Amino acid sequence: MQYMTGIESHQWKNKTAVTLGKFDGLHRGHQKLVGKICQYKEEGCESVLCAFDMGRDSLMTEKERCSRLEGQVDWLVRYPFTDRLKGMSAEDFIRDILHERLNAAHIVVGTDFSFGYQKRGDASMLERYAPHFGYTVDVIEKEKYQGRVISSTYIREALELGDVALAEKLLGYPYEISGTVKHGRRLGRALGFPTMNIEPAEKKIMPRFGVYACRVRIGNIWYGGIGNAGVKPTVTDEKKRLLEVFVFGYDGDAYGEEITVQFCEFERPETKFGSVEELKKQVMRDIRFGKEYFQL
């Protein structure tokens, strides 16, 4: 897969099958669009996913999006939502971007896709211009779960509640956070349960602050564990977002390594305890919760 930021530096010579959108999270609805453009590879078309970057907090970092799409699409284009793009008419977008720049033979969008100045372009406009520019349009129906359309908003709502099991059903994979293990206060080690601390990417959405049963990947091995997502109010007033995990059955040194934490089940909200001793007692209960979850 080839990756680029912006679209002005490349002119596609081969015909392409293109899908466009925010693609925040690459949830099950997005995966239908990806699957459709990949079908056109059989015609010799290059598959191109254009992800509009709105510059706000998101369910997925760009690195995570690349990882999810590797081996599926030929091109991933991160498309910053610039003033020029905001001000471009829908007609100009079709002619200048889709036709002349992307050389689109097939355009795949969801039913609510909009584009161009003041969102005047939509799927029906794409279909009207299709004969003139020689492309086809596939309008893909929304994927639903329990009668509700799967969307990034739906997933955000689930994460705000700590319902990571629902988020996994909507995404099609567990919600996860990756980061480099950094030195902390070593309080966990002093209390008898050494932990690993990672800071989420600045705009990466964290689930509801609290304790979760987690799967943790260190190197190429997955472990069970428990994780606290939050700001550790008992031991610091910094209000810095951290994910602290205690990994079952791991006794190595992971400092400086990148690990991935998948959220499996919410146990309890983050709490400020009156003393470190109270915290220790609760962590022992958290560990029991995690071991029961993983049947250890």
- pLDDT attached to residue 271: 87
Neighbour-count burial of 286, counting CB atoms closer than 10 A to its CB (0-12 exposed, 13-18 middle, 19+ buried): buried
Residue-wise over 233-268: b if at least 16 C-beta within 10 A, else e? ebeeeeeebbbbbbbeebeeebeeeebbbbbbbbbe
Q: How many residues in the chain?
A: 296
Where does the pLDDT of residue 249 fall: very low under 50, low under 70, confident under 90, or very high at 90 and above? very high
Average pLDDT over residues 169-177: 98
- Per-residue confidence (pLDDT) for residue 183, from 0 to 100: 78
Q: Are 212 and 227 in contact, with CB atoms under 8 Å apart? A: yes
Q: Is the pLDDT of residue 217 over 60?
A: yes
Which token pair is 173?
A: 């994979």
Q: Average model confidence (pLDDT) for the chain?
A: 93
Q: What is the pLDDT of residue 167?
A: 98
Q: What is the DSSP letter of 145?
A: E
**From the CB of residue 221, how many other CB atoms can be counted at a distance below 10 Å?**
9
Closest by CA position to 27, among listed 132, 122, 144, 136: 144
Q: What is the DSSP string of 33-87?
A: HHHHHHHGGGGTPEEEEEEEE-SS-BSS-HHHHHHHHTTT-SEEEEEE--HHHHH
Predicted model pTM = 0.93
Domains detected in the chain: 2-142 (3.40.50.620), 149-293 (2.40.30.30)
Res 228: pLDDT: 95
